[in-house]
Amino acid sequence: MHKRIFVRYFNACALIILLTVFILGTATTTVYTVQSVQEQDRNMENAASKIASMLQGMPVNYNVFVGTVMAGSIETVKETIGSDVIIVNQWGYVVQSTLDESVALNLPSSAVGKVMSGEIYRRQSVFIESMGNSYTVGVPIFAADGDATIGCVFVTAPQVRVSSVMYSILGVYLLCGLGALLFAVVLLYFITRQITRPLNEMAAAAKSYSKGDFSRRISVPPEGELGALAGTFNHMADNLDRLENMRRDFIADVSHELRTPMTTIGGFVDGILDGTIPPEMEQKYLVLVSEEVKRLTRMVNNLLEVARVQSGEITYQMKPFNLTEIGHRVVLTIEDRISKEKINLNLQLPEDAVYAVGDRDAIYRVIYNLMDNAVKFTPENGEITIGLRREKKKIRFFVRNTGQGIPEEEVGKIFERFYKTDKSRGENRRGVGLGLYMVKNMIEAHHEDLFVTSKEGEFAEFSFTLQEAAESDM
């Protein structure tokens, strides 16, 4: 993994560096070229202007004078700025130049005519055939009064070439780029190692998780994105570990819950068949067998209900119904258990009908599960309170029981699948931890809220809200 990430980072970094070098080199050479041309133009124009000012006001037959006096000056110009000087009289003849005498000086008539008209001439083109492409500047020579043009001075040089300068600049930039690239290689090596180390740990941990071992954790400092990712990964591992423990507990609980009634049923049936149980006692034991069968049926139904919830097969019919009636029905269903457990019942349901919007059967299951849970965890001579109250346009239904309450650290876990706050399997602690999970899913399907309030050692209260039905809905 480290090699692949390093190569990708290196390719991206190398591309950025090379593009940067290319752009900087091109921009620099372009600017240098423009400045060089401008500077050469100024130097050539200044040189031509100085020679023209020296020749200003010369007599018509000055060609002899020029040949003897100006030779040194124009040679100095050639040596200084690397340009050839050509002096032309008013008739268009060349009277002096720094070019070899063998060079035929056939000057463009358009260039000579433009300068003779008093304008400055500058152009990049073929000025003299034998010189090829060149840059030329021409200025007029004025008479003493400054009105008439008595000749012109041309300063010409081969085309400005900056390729060697460009190559030098690009070479410098390329060396800098290579240096930066070497530095980036070293830096990227250590950076990618820092990045891939936790990723490798995560990959190894994921392999462990796939084998059922959720004990491995990622040790990365919490700062930065990788730290946040590692924290999330560890949190996921904690949840998977807890879920795996819950799954094991669930299998153990289901095995126990199935084994106990099946053993009881098998023992009673065998006793009846082999005559161990006398005929006059058969009715009593058949009742016990019937209760155990009903208990098994409820457990299987709960498991099937969880499967349906997880697959999204359950659909709810949202209609107005009498919530008070449902509460009374649940109380009547579970009243015998309450009496056997010697629990006091505080009924705070109104006598008048209170209508809410929801699925009647689902809300019955919700209230039943909450009541069943309250009976399990209410001690002898304890109290269960069931009631409802209006809150704005909502109805809050609550079930409250005295007893040991719920530990604060477990309040957020009690609605998880298979979770049991009391791991004992005594007579009053039967179940596999699905009741409150079903309650949570049913209330969420109604888009309503579920609340739990508890004080450890004193009480626990579960409540949920439903939309109150309007008169127009009924």
Do 337 and 412 share a domain, yes or no?
yes
Edge-to-edge strand list for the sheet holding 133-142: 94-97, 84-89, 149-158, 133-142, 121-126
Of 135, 164, 193, which marks where a domain is finished? 164
Do 460 and 376 share a domain, yes or no?
yes
Do 306 and 377 share a domain, yes or no?
no
Do 45 and 123 share a domain, yes or no?
yes
CB atoms within 10 A of CB 151: 27
Residue 191 lies in a domain: no
Domain that holds residue 421: 316-473
Do 248 and 284 share a domain, yes or no?
yes
Do 337 and 274 share a domain, yes or no?
no
Q: Could you tell me what percentage of the chain is helix, strand and coil, using 3-state DSSP and rounding each to the nearest 5?
A: 55, 20, 25
User: Of the candidates 432, 298, 295, which has an alpha carbon nearest to the alpha carbon of residue 365?
Assistant: 298
| C-beta separation of 246 from 413 below 8 A | no
Do 133 and 228 share a domain, yes or no?
no
pLDDT tens for the chain, residues 1 to 474: 567 777 777 888 888 888 888 888 778 777 877 887 888 888 899 989 888 888 876 665 555 455 556 777 888 888 888 888 988 888 888 888 888 764 557 788 888 899 988 899 988 888 877 777 888 999 998 887 777 888 899 999 886 555 566 677 777 878 888 888 888 888 888 877 777 777 777 788 888 878 878 777 777 676 677 778 778 888 888 888 877 777 776 677 677 667 777 888 888 888 888 888 888 888 888 888 888 888 788 777 777 777 776 666 677 889 999 999 999 999 998 998 899 999 999 999 998 899 999 999 999 999 999 999 999 899 999 999 999 999 888 999 999 999 988 888 888 788 876 666 654 433 444 555 678 888 898 898 899 999 999 988 899 999 999 999 876 665
User: Given this model, what pLDDT does residue 183 score?
Assistant: 87
Quote the number of domains for the chain.
3
Do 363 and 419 share a domain, yes or no?
yes
The helix/strand/coil state of 128 is coil
Do 354 and 268 share a domain, yes or no?
no
C-alpha 431/C-alpha 100 separation (Å) is 116
Greatest C-alpha distance within the chain:
162
Do 320 and 306 share a domain, yes or no?
no
Of 310, 335, 358, which marks where a domain is finished? 310
Query: Residue 346 belongs to a domain with what CATH number?
Result: 3.30.565.10
Do 299 and 333 share a domain, yes or no?
no
Do 274 and 129 share a domain, yes or no?
no
Residue 171 lies in a domain: no
- Non-local CB neighbours of 220 within 8 Å, separated by 6+ positions: 197, 198, 201, 226, 227, 230
Question: What DSSP character marks residue 423?
Answer: -
Residue 299 lies in a domain: yes
Query: Residue 69 belongs to a domain with what CATH number?
Result: 3.30.450.20
Q: Which two tokens stand for residue 59?
A: 């007599």
User: Given this model, what pLDDT does residue 312 score?
Assistant: 66
Amino acid present at 145: D
**Model-level pTM greater than 0.75?**
no
Residue 466 lies in a domain: yes
